[in-house]
Amino acid sequence: MQILVRGDSGFCRDAIMDWCERKGIDYVLGLAKNSRLLKDIEKELKAAEAESIKTGEMARIFKNLRYRTLKETWSRTRRVVAKAEHLNKGSNPRFVVTSLPQKGFPAATLYETLYCARGEMENRIKEQQRGLFADRTSTATMRGNQLRLYFSSISYILMHDLRRLALKDTDLERAQCTTIRLKLLKIGAQIQVSVRRVWIRMAAGYPYQEAFQQAFDNLQQLPLRC
């Protein structure tokens, strides 16, 4: 199994990188900017600024560097990918250090596809914490807290599958759990039970009727599994 360690600059420590290298595990870690690194991409930053001013849009230029700290806190020279970016609000340089080779992992792909996916992963963790209360571990026992986390994790799996299967091709297919709960699940309805049927009457003014109906239809079309 191929393992990739991905983290922000807080994990950019020689002990972590050295351990990964000895174990044959690749890594992509954020690297805090400093004067040496900024000097290495001065030309790229100026070029990105000129391009941004010309087009009125964000401009990015990537560059591969070979870098080692002067104070020998790093045990070896490593590959660093620099992003010289200019936004409307100004310059936005970023750096990552990696064990992945340039061949097969060009600078732009490594940063935009591999490293930036870390932020999306963190968004999903935050979604479970804030939307499904995974951080509510205030019971008196570890076992009780573990059970709460199990419930939260199961809830996230259900919400993720609801988003992936039922809400496909709707306005809510990329919505967060809190939005789905508010707009699709946490709604009022009148329930009438007869001998043969259960009637659920929703308000005529419910603004997400189309998404609700399409989600229902999508679920109905799913194959049954024993």
Residue 190 lies in a domain: yes
Residues whose CB falls within 8 Å of the CB of residue 116, separated by 6 or more in sequence, listed in order: none
pLDDT at 144 (0 to 100): 94
- Residue 203 one-letter amino acid: A
Whether the CB-CB separation of 172 and 211 falls below 8 Å is answered with: yes
What's the gap between Cα 96 and its chain centre?
A: 17
On whether both 80 and 143 belong to a single domain, the answer is no
Q: Measuring CA to CA, how many Å separate 28 from each of 18, 73, 95, 125?
A: 13, 18, 10, 19
Per-residue pLDDT of the chain (226 residues; tens, 9 = 90+): 889 999 999 999 999 999 999 999 999 999 999 999 999 999 999 999 999 999 999 999 999 999 999 887 899 999 999 999 999 999 999 999 999 999 999 999 999 999 998 878 888 888 888 889 998 889 999 999 999 999 999 999 999 999 999 999 898 999 999 999 999 998 888 999 999 999 988 888 899 999 999 999 999 998 877 5
Last residue of a domain, one of 74, 93, 115: 115
Residue 225 lies in a domain: no
Whether the CB-CB separation of 137 and 130 falls below 8 Å is answered with: no
Whether the CB-CB separation of 77 and 67 falls below 8 Å is answered with: yes
On whether both 141 and 99 belong to a single domain, the answer is no
Residue-number span of the structural domain to which 76 is assigned: 4-115
Residue 171 lies in a domain: yes
Whether the CB-CB separation of 119 and 100 falls below 8 Å is answered with: no
On whether both 127 and 111 belong to a single domain, the answer is no
- Return the number of other C-beta atoms located less than 10 Å from residue 184's C-beta: 19
Q: Measuring CA to CA, how many Å separate 61 from each of 35, 39, 52, 71, 116?
A: 18, 15, 11, 29, 16
